Amino acid sequence: MQKPVCEPKRVPWIDRDQSILAFNERVLDWAARAEVPLLERLRYLCIVSSNLDEFFEVRAEPHLMAARARDHRGGCSVESFEALSGIAQTLVARQYAIYNDALTPAFARVGIRVLSHAERNASQRLWVKQFFAREVRPLLLPVALDPAHPFPQVANKSLNFIVRLSGADAFGRHNEIAIVKVPRVLPRLIRLPRHRAAADMLFVALSSVIRAHLSDMFPGRDVVQFSQFRLTRHTELAVDEGDVKDLRSALRQGLQHRPYGQAVRLEVSSGCTDHLTDFLLKQFDLPAGALYRVHGPVNLARLAQLIDLVDAPALCFPVYEPARPSQLVAGVSIFEQLRRSDILIHQPFESFDGVLDFLREAVHDPDVLAIRQTIYRTGADSALMDLLREAVRRGKEVMVVVELKARFDEEANINWAELLESIGAQVVYGVVGLKTHAKMMLITRREGRTLRLYGHLSTGNYNVRTARLYTDWSHLTADRALTADMASVFVHLAGQSRPARLRNMWMAPFQLQRQLLQKIEAAGDAAARGEGGRIVAKMNALTDDTLARALLRAGQKGARIDLIVRGACVLPAQVRGISDNIRVRSVIGRFLEHTRVFYFRCAGVEALYLSSADWMSRNMIGRIELAWPVTDPVQRQRIVDEDLVAYLHDGVDAWDMQSDGTYLRVHSGDGAQQYGAQAALMRRHTRRSNKPTGKP
């Protein structure tokens, strides 16, 4: 008998922003693990710091504005601001506790130390003083505040010092506050020369160098109080696409103002006096809840420089070289291989070079006439973009859909767009009001008297660097139905015409959400009939209310649902009487989980889709996204084995959501050999060992 569906008001939905912070707590756990190599622990600490920066830059402003106005705005309020502030404060405190109490002593035990001024001996202090005078002091310009010298513009996430002075200035005035802005060009960590460090690797922080010589910048006056401080600003670019004639120019202009948006967070040294913090909070119009006192450098993310400065492979993960894609045969044309069967590449366990080889062959093949590609994130230095430039030089028709609004990659994408246009490529910017997030490449090749299409679809970006760090699926295909759909999507993106009816693909914002809802409902109905309904979905985030409610209904009808969600998830799991049949798992490993895989089984009939889209409202209605089926049973089983079964059995890097919305790290039973999905996949693709199979 079908279970009654609960009323929506009874569902204890999880707050999206709090869920994002909870994800960072899971990442931070890697920095606390003694079994993780030391420099990698530092790397995870820095990743969390960088993630928090982005959280405040993107997500904090609505809560802050609601708190300032003391009203409710779009789900934000004084209460939501205070709740997020409390969670973030706890997370930051744990960060610095790990850095000071665990990592710093551990580094000291292996001869790596970042010396404070008090820890430096006379010889080291002399070297630092000379370094300051030679490399730092010429770039600093202290500004003493008075009516003619207002508070200087402070850029987003820049290092600064606030100083309180006693005595009078050269003109007899008692202007007590001064600001010292620290240029970004200066390194945040400096290694002491070997003759000053004995056998150890010794470093000094730039903030410590400046702090030790602040008085040198104010001759005739005494520094009585000081603190380093760092301001985080809101950085979302607000561009009304319907009201601009040239989106590229508007975005480039907006990028110039991004470093000076609304202030949302103020970080100061733990010893900063109330007098100075009150002054800064008033200056930036911030409430006390936006103040973060830290026990160390105000920007932990910049400590990542230490990883590059220390040459100690033993303190890092063993180097992993991605395997050559198992389905690619060396020395045989990729086009010829694709005419026989599709090819899957599981990155980073298999090399992204397979995708580059596909494009490279197309660029150098005289029978290839045209190349079309979407560009979301490629990076500033891109081998793939170099290949597209070479294709233009060889006379091929190159059409690129560049997403100018890819957050924090806007400038790189604008530069690539201008460069490609300058050499004759056709560049378009997708559909007004929608981000083009779909990842696809389409090759048109003359074969005899016909033209044949070859395609590449991906869950990830065309970025060589992140392809070694993110887990993604690349799907190379010559399937006529899939490539015809891809051609229709490119026509839609270029001409903005009504998209043709797609035969195999689902495209947002048109069919994707509706088709997912139908699949979810079908699984629930099959379970209610006693025929068995199964859903396993792997993604980065699940925050779309419509899809979350559909999953809840399907689970209440009896469908077994496993959600492998790396980051934010608003759907509660294992709540008695509400979501008993739903499990939510997050896997945080050496590589960033990035694949989107959607598996449905109804009455024994399987369907599996790969996608560029997470289950978020913005992906369903605000972006051009694609999901496409993997119909070959062998290929489908491979994805099930490697990306679903493997992760559902992970007992090392997995976290399971509890009924109260918190996450508990999974541990294998006592005496059992622990199984980590990513480690197993690295071994599998390195040794080509036998692969376990099964149903998820």
Q: Provide the annotated active-site residues.
A: 437
Burial letters 288-308, b for 16+ CB under 10 A, else e: ebbbbbbebbbbbbbbbbbbe
Is residue 691 within 8 Å of residue 641, measured between CB atoms? yes
| CA dist., res. 468 & res. 461, Å (int) | 11
CA-based radius of gyration for the chain: 28
Biggest CA-to-CA distance, the chain: 90
Can you state the percent helix, strand and coil of the chain, rounding each to 5?
40, 25, 35
Is residue 317 within 8 Å of residue 40, measured between CB atoms? yes
Cis peptide before 509 (omega within 30 of 0): yes
| CA dist., res. 64 & res. 76, Å (int) | 8
Question: Which residue, among 587, 559, 472, has the nearest Cα to 26 in the 3D structure?
Answer: 587
Q: E strands of 22-158, at which residues?
A: 112-114, 143-144
Q: 646 in the Ramachandran plot: left (φ > 0), alpha (ψ -120 to 50) or beta?
A: alpha
How far is CA 413 from each of CA 252, 381, 477, 621, 681, rounded to the nearest angstrom?
Answer: 11, 11, 27, 23, 33
| CA dist., res. 371 & res. 426, Å (int) | 10
Cis peptide before 348 (omega within 30 of 0): yes
Provide the 8-state DSSP code for 194.
G
| CA dist., res. 655 & res. 650, Å (int) | 9
DSSP string, 580-592: TTEEEEEE--SSE
In this structure, what token pair is assigned to residue 418? 């201008």
In this structure, what token pair is assigned to residue 515? 């088709």
Amino acid making up residue 487: A
Is residue 387 within 8 Å of residue 360, measured between CB atoms? yes
DSSP string, 590-620: SSEE---EEEEEETTEEEEEEES--BSHHHH
Question: Which residue, among 11, 1, 9, has the nearest Cα to 582 in the 3D structure?
Answer: 11
Amino acid making up residue 358: F
Question: Which residue, among 346, 578, 315, has the nearest Cα to 459 in the 3D structure?
Answer: 346
Query: Which phi and psi angles does 533 have, rounded to 5°?
Result: -130, 130
**503: number of Cβ within 10 Å:** 11
In this structure, what token pair is assigned to residue 425? 């490529």
Question: Which residue, among 390, 422, 420, has the nearest Cα to 404 in the 3D structure?
Answer: 420
Is residue 139 within 8 Å of residue 181, measured between CB atoms? no
Residues in the chain: 696
Amino acid making up residue 86: G
Non-local CB neighbours of 11 within 8 Å, separated by 6+ positions = 549, 552, 572, 578
DSSP string, 64-86: HHHHHHTS-BTTB-HHHHHHHHH
